[in-house]
Structure 1
Amino acid sequence: MPKPVILAVDDDISVLEAVIQDLRRQYGANYRILRAGSGQAALDTCTQLQQRGDAVALFLSDQRMPGMTGVEFLEKAQDLYPDAKRALLTAYADTEAAIKAINTARINYYLTKPWDPPEEKLYPVLDDLLENWKEDYKPPFEGLRVIGPRWSLNDYQVRDFLSRNQIPYVWLDPEKSDEAVQLLERFRLDDHKLPAVLFPDGTSLVQPSQTQLAERIGLRTQAQKEFYDLVIVGGGPAGLAAAVYGASEGLKALVIEPEAPGGQAGSSSRIENYLGFPSGLSGADLARRAYAQASRFGAEFLTQRATGIRSESNYHFIKLADGREVSCHVALIAVGVNYRKLDIPGLDQFTGAGVYYGAAQAEAISCRNEDVYIVGGANSAGQAAMHFSKYAHKVTMLVRSSLEKSMSKYLIDQIAATSNIEVRTGTEIKEVQGNGRLECIKVGSPKGEIVCSASSLFIFIGAAPQTDWLPETVMRDPNGFVLSGPDLQIESKMPKIWKESRSPYLLETSTPGIFVAGDVRHGSVKRAASAVGEGSISVQFMHQYLARF
């Protein structure tokens, strides 16, 4: 396959030549760098590339060109290559037009001229755009194949695990795909024992456990060391932020995460109010960036589940699901929360067979042209509704009260402007029914109950902390959220547990040297940005704790 294309457009030959030289120096090894002296010439080039089936990764166009401005070209190029990233080169005086173009032409970024030095002003921006493009780009596939029926919990769990760890794969349903049947015969696999994961080297895994799958796709399941300065339990935004700041400041850091970096936020289809990303970013993209950043500083990641923690002589020992232990000076609890389960008749039997907790992005394409129901009225539910609206025939949000109580205004506006999203307030699920998979739901409202045909139901209600594995010495509130800092002072048990002469540090739990950050903390703000903030500042208090020894 030919390399993907980066197309630079400028009517000023000297400027165009300078752009081409900078692009070739940085990206020539992996991309074909093409040029055009006008918007129309660039469109002609795009038409030829499209006819040959070539991919375009990035358009980089000057704004001030005769006959067709850069914004006009990028708008027309979007019709030919809707997935290509679009960047505008502008003079300082054109900044206002460039900002408007972010919305009108869906431009991803604008750069002001001159861009010297490119190492600081050009390459970092284009690196991000190209990395984002590569996430969605699908060259001829040579990777993993997952064979399994759609309405199977095990099949869903395998696909969700691969998706959240950003491992490319092709999913084949043997009930709909002749290729799946042929592959099962070629690999001599029993179609009654699915899912099966087929690897490029000709090997396969049948009904794999999460640990088996993690090992095969290259995730670390055993710690490299027995002792770390800092062990972080949970790889959501708070844990990732702590890993970045801890590792960058010289702490040997280990992140223990049983599923995938990003936590609950990692499954968000679009976060548009995160500082520094005017066009928004997906939770998976945020997790990918943070994981790469923490790894670059030397943080280690472990795909395991923590099952216990004990403290002895100023050291902490975290027990893992495989029976091993790792020890540390300081620990951070950042396990986040899970969505609460609905307690209604018939629900459990359809989990993974039409009923899903969270965004379940592995299911989005499967819902193409179907009617999807979403339960919940917070930001996560709104982000999921917007995501599924791109695939589903109709998305219906079932909300007990109103969106205004728990959803950001920008999301409410987007939902109102999306024609295939319906919001039903004052409603709740009463019952689910089906034969082997979800087929219909009973919805109750003040006007009465109705039965609706439904193949997919996604649930986003409340926050349930998973803290049963913690010892009694780590105090929690009645709902299971971990108490820390000043919140500990109001507990009558505090004097009995806390043996230190000092007061607990902010974000320090009732066990000295064990800290908490993110959604699992009592009183936290359930937003990705606040979790990142808590994870970051927790490292400061860890240093204060360590300085005492």
Structure 2
Amino acid sequence: MPNPAILLVSDQYAEILETQFWRYQREYDLHVAHSAEEAMAATERIHAAGGQVALFVADSRLADVHVLKAFHDWRSIVPTARRLVTASWENFLEDSTAFRPGLAKGKFDAFLLMPRGIRDEEFHTAITEMLSDWGSTSATPEVDSVRIVTPTVDGSTLSIRDFLYRMGMPTRTYGPESPVGQEILAELADAGVSGTEVRFPVVKPMNGTPVCAPTVHDVAISIYGAPSDIDVDQVVDLAIVRGGPAGLAAAVYGASEGLSTVVVEAEAIGGQAGTSSMIRNYLGFPRGISGMRLAQRARSQAIRFGTRFFTGWPVEKLTLGEDHHVLSTGGGELRARSVVIASGVAYRKLQVEAVDSLVGRGVFYGAAMTAAREMEDRDVFVVGGGNSAGQAAVHLSRFARSVTILIRRPSLAETMSSYLINEVEYNPRITVRGCGEVVDGGGEGQLDWIEIRDTTNGTLSRHQAGGLFLLLGAEPHCEWLPDGVVRDAKGFVLTGRDVPKETWVNGLPPGNLETTAPGVFAVGDIRADSMKRVASASGEGASVVPLVHAWLEPRR
């Protein structure tokens, strides 16, 4: 298998680009073309040989065709490649203005000034970020930190792979009959599990012992520890339930300001945002950042300040107390003077039995990032009109033959950010169908078709479908909360002036992010009337820490 290719395209500046990209030639095959036509021929040769193009780097001014037309043509052959426009110093100001609309519509991924000398690390930081993004979402991992052995890639395997992806752990799947599979099963037999005792999938963590781990919970325990590992003896200042953007922000700011801070996470950190292939409107990341990378960086930042994370244990109960509260999990109890509820929301179920019976076999709730590679040359449907659905559709279009976004409303205008609507409209593989809903589906052990009802006239139509991704909006799960934490009719936690007046103390409402239970706060999507955006959730996570300080100060 050849190395992935980086294709450099320029007439006047080809030599400069080739010199700048020498540092990548050990792990990538560099190809230089002096025109779009020459680049197309090189792309076809690479594709025909079974190779991959990781990155197109094109001069902003090509001699034979406009560079955006060239990108469109190259993308028809290699849709997974990242696309960079680079402009020379004399053309940069003029071309940066001209190319701005195309960048906003997703016609390419980045616009950079061409390096004028050696060690232009700002330029190469962008290059490595793009290659990293390509490597984590499009390419098969070359180095795996976790190996999965299974005869079939079923729903359980896909859930485990998504969990490991969100935890930043490169993963590969092997059949039991493969050399790697045989080696891992032999190691499992040496540990006393063999023959009919083996339950697939078998998971082998890096430098660890293989285990039969049929669920995400089992994998989390095998990697992060057994129940007895929740060993916090003292009463901590701050306990945070779940590690989405809001919980991670609270952890960073709480620990950095000297609070003893613990995060209890049921699955992978990042919440729903952690499944996003690319978030382009988050402050400070002009080229975008995947939800997984954002969550991993925030987790590392929180750990640096002293936050402790316990992964794999959902909180089952919150017991309120005067001096401290108690969080109960399957792995033990945690006592805390203050609690921040950042448990986020889950996608609503379709509640069509024939479709739900195929979850993991062509039907997925959420973006299911690792399932995207299995959608190659299939017709795929994404149900939902929010940003998560738009990001999933754009990512799936790199693999699927076609992607249809299905929504009940007439258009996406009311529910999706403008920048994503522009990307969706430009992408030739994506179409939007309004006023429709999935009412049936089926297939022989795998999703083959779905039935759509037109919500305006009730007519039914059947469509071939190789994949169905359901991102149906927010549904809170707060069954573990006591009655002392009041929620609205939909189950979202009430805070501040939204709580019932009869619960106010001395005629005053709780603080803006404080619940009806003293010392218990709520941030992010779980809070009633929150914005349901990554940036707003992060802001609330940071904003809650001063309120926690104010609560703790008289009690110190």
Specify the TM-score bucket, using the shorter chain as the normaliser: 0.7 to 0.9
What residue number does 1:305 align with?
A: 314
Supply the AA of the counterpart residue of 2:511.
Y
TM-score of the aligned structures, taking structure 2 as reference length = 0.77
What residue number does 1:358 align with?
A: 366
Closer/same/farther in 2, CA of residues 311 and 393 from structure 1, 3 Å limit: same
**Which of 339, 344, 350 is the matching residue for 2:347?**
339
Take 2:348 and 2:414, find their aligned partners in 1: how far apart are those partners? 18
Take 1:276 and 1:523, find their aligned partners in 2: how far apart are those partners? 26
Take 1:115 and 1:316, find their aligned partners in 2: how far apart are those partners? 59
Take 1:532 and 1:513, find their aligned partners in 2: how far apart are those partners? 20
| 1:498-538 deviation line (CA, Å, top 9, x unaligned) | 5x675311100001111111111001111111111111111
Cα deviation, residue 455, structure 1:
3.6
Take 1:501 and 1:225, find their aligned partners in 2: how far apart are those partners? 38
* Conservation of the 8 A alpha-carbon contact between 1:88 and 1:107: no
Cα deviation, residue 413, structure 1:
2.5
SS in 1 for 2:320: strand
What residue number does 2:242 align with?
A: 234
* Conservation of the 8 A alpha-carbon contact between 2:198 and 2:212: no
Closer/same/farther in 2, CA of residues 361 and 494 from structure 1, 3 Å limit: same
Deviates more, 1:130-139 or 1:501-510: 130-139
What residue number does 2:329 align with?
A: 320
Q: How does 1:404-483 map to 2 (within 5 A)?
A: 404-445=413-454, 446=457, 448-483=459-494
* Conservation of the 8 A alpha-carbon contact between 1:5 and 1:33: no
Deviates more, 1:153-162 or 1:470-479: 153-162
SS in 1 for 2:353: coil
Q: How does 1:61-140 map to 2 (within 5 A)?
A: 94-98=92-96, 106=108, 108=110, 110=112, 132=133, 135=136, 140=142
Cα deviation, residue 361, structure 1:
0.9
What residue number does 1:330 align with?
A: 338
Cα deviation, residue 384, structure 1:
1.1
Take 1:5 and 1:421, find their aligned partners in 2: how far apart are those partners? 26
TM-score of the aligned structures, taking structure 1 as reference length = 0.78
Take 1:350 and 1:139, find their aligned partners in 2: how far apart are those partners? 27
| 1:407-455 deviation line (CA, Å, top 9, x unaligned) | 2222222222222223222111112333433333222112611233334
Cα deviation, residue 118, structure 1:
8.9
What stretches of structure 1 move > 6 A for 4+ residues in a row? 3-8, 30-34, 53-64, 74-82, 84-87, 111-119, 121-127
Take 2:460 and 2:317, find their aligned partners in 1: how far apart are those partners? 45
* Conservation of the 8 A alpha-carbon contact between 2:277 and 2:290: yes
SS in 2 for 1:392: coil
SS in 2 for 1:193: coil
Take 1:373 and 1:267, find their aligned partners in 2: how far apart are those partners? 17
SS in 1 for 2:280: coil
* Conservation of the 8 A alpha-carbon contact between 1:6 and 1:33: no
Cα deviation, residue 157, structure 1:
2.4
Cα deviation, residue 138, structure 1:
5.8
SS in 2 for 1:429: strand
* Conservation of the 8 A alpha-carbon contact between 1:58 and 1:87: no
* Conservation of the 8 A alpha-carbon contact between 2:376 and 2:400: yes
Deviates more, 1:257-266 or 1:181-190: 181-190
Cα deviation, residue 84, structure 1:
7.8
Closer/same/farther in 2, CA of residues 237 and 99 from structure 1, 3 Å limit: farther
Supply the AA of the counterpart residue of 2:461.
I
Cα deviation, residue 208, structure 1:
4.1
Structure 1 residue 526 and structure 2 residue 532: aligned? yes
Cα deviation, residue 479, structure 1:
0.7
Deviates more, 1:236-245 or 1:310-319: 310-319
Structure 1 residue 258 and structure 2 residue 260: aligned? no
| 1:164-203 deviation line (CA, Å, top 9, x unaligned) | 21211112356xx866875687565559832122456584
| 1:293-337 deviation line (CA, Å, top 9, x unaligned) | 222222222102111112222312211122x11122221101110
Cα deviation, residue 94, structure 1:
3.4
What residue number does 2:164 align with?
A: 162
* Conservation of the 8 A alpha-carbon contact between 2:249 and 2:298: yes
**Which of 489, 494, 501 is the matching residue for 2:503?**
494
**Which of 223, 242, 253 is the matching residue for 1:245?**
253
| 1:215-273 deviation line (CA, Å, top 9, x unaligned) | 43347963453332111111111111111211222222111111111100111122222
Structure 1 residue 214 and structure 2 residue 220: aligned? yes
**Which of 505, 512, 516 is the matching residue for 1:510?**
516
* Conservation of the 8 A alpha-carbon contact between 1:481 and 1:521: yes
Cα deviation, residue 107, structure 1:
6.2
* Conservation of the 8 A alpha-carbon contact between 1:257 and 1:302: yes
Take 2:79 and 2:371, find their aligned partners in 1: how far apart are those partners? 25
* Conservation of the 8 A alpha-carbon contact between 2:342 and 2:523: yes
**Which of 205, 210, 227 is the matching residue for 2:211?**
205
Supply the AA of the counterpart residue of 2:341.
I
SS in 2 for 1:309: strand
Identical-pair percentage: 35
* Conservation of the 8 A alpha-carbon contact between 1:256 and 1:305: yes
| 1:455-484 deviation line (CA, Å, top 9, x unaligned) | 422111121101110000000001100000
**Which of 244, 264, 267 is the matching residue for 2:275?**
267
Deviates more, 1:154-163 or 1:136-145: 136-145
* Conservation of the 8 A alpha-carbon contact between 2:355 and 2:441: yes
**Which of 170, 173, 190 is the matching residue for 1:171?**
173
Closer/same/farther in 2, CA of residues 546 and 111 from structure 1, 3 Å limit: farther
Deviates more, 1:393-402 or 1:135-144: 135-144
Take 1:115 and 1:468, find their aligned partners in 2: how far apart are those partners? 60
Alignment RMSD (CA, Å): 4.8
What residue number does 1:401 align with?
A: 409
Deviates more, 1:514-523 or 1:452-461: 452-461
Take 1:540 and 1:330, find their aligned partners in 2: how far apart are those partners? 12
Structure 1 residue 377 and structure 2 residue 385: aligned? yes
Supply the AA of the counterpart residue of 1:254.
V
